[in-house]
Amino acid sequence: MPRSGSTLLFNLCRILFEEEYGKDKTYATWTQFFKENQQKKYNIIKNHDRVQKLIDWADLIITSVRDPRYVIASYSDFNPKFNVNSESQIKSVCSSYIKTFEIMKPLSDYTFRYESYFNDKTKIIKEIMNVLGINESKIDINKIIKNLDAIKNTKYEKLDRTVTQMHPNHISPKANKTIHERLTKEQIRFIESNFSKFMLDHGYKPVNFIKML
């Protein structure tokens, strides 16, 4: 899912596979770069859309979900064509995001909730390890967290983009700001009023109760 922590999820799975099985047995890439003749014993493909060929190919599917208010804030940071002051554009982006998520969720073996990861990284990593069939006793979770944090904190030009699938628009310069500092009250109210069912279904409270990660 775009703007929902999917690259973080991708790198988490990649690092877990590399720790458990070794880099020589792990192939992880973005869907458009995937080549069948480069597959190894353990393979991870990052993808944003439902592709039946990949669904049939995969042994496991993990999807991601994020508060739509932050999806819009993140989308606004990097898409120059997106007008965050346009209600129709906000509605279009949110609707597309939710539609794709609701298509993928029934097919998924696990849903990675972006906010839950930052609330308790160890817990979420253990849950994903369980889904992936990775023995918890063999993995240093603190090392996994350290490696993931290093990706986020490393300047883009120093990252191995082929390995991490990181791009300049993956880390917002406003990531540490509250939702009040990223969207106006009117924008927040519009998202909450139009997508309240989705938000309630996934535990996203009205803005008065929100805590920035």
* pLDDT tens profile 83-142: 999 999 999 999 999 999 999 999 999 999 999 999 999 999 999 999 999 998 989 999
Here the tokens at position 119 are: 């609330």
Distance CA 97, CA 3 (A): 9
pLDDT tens track for 19-73 = 999 999 999 999 989 999 999 999 999 998 888 999 999 999 999 999 999 999 9
Beta strands in 21-130 (DSSP E): 26-30, 42-46, 62-65, 110-113
pTM: predicted TM-score of the whole model, two decimal places:
0.89
pLDDT tens track for 162-184 = 888 877 666 676 777 888 899 99
Query: What are the angstrom distances between the C-alpha of 210 and each of 105, 118, 144, 180, 206?
Result: 24, 14, 28, 10, 7
Cα torsion 111, 127, 9, 45: sign: negative
Report all structural domains of the chain as residue ranges with CATH numbers, in order of start: 6-209 (3.40.50.300)
Give residue 101's identity as a one-letter amino acid code. F
Pairing assessment for the beta strands 62-65 and 26-30 based on DSSP bridges: unpaired
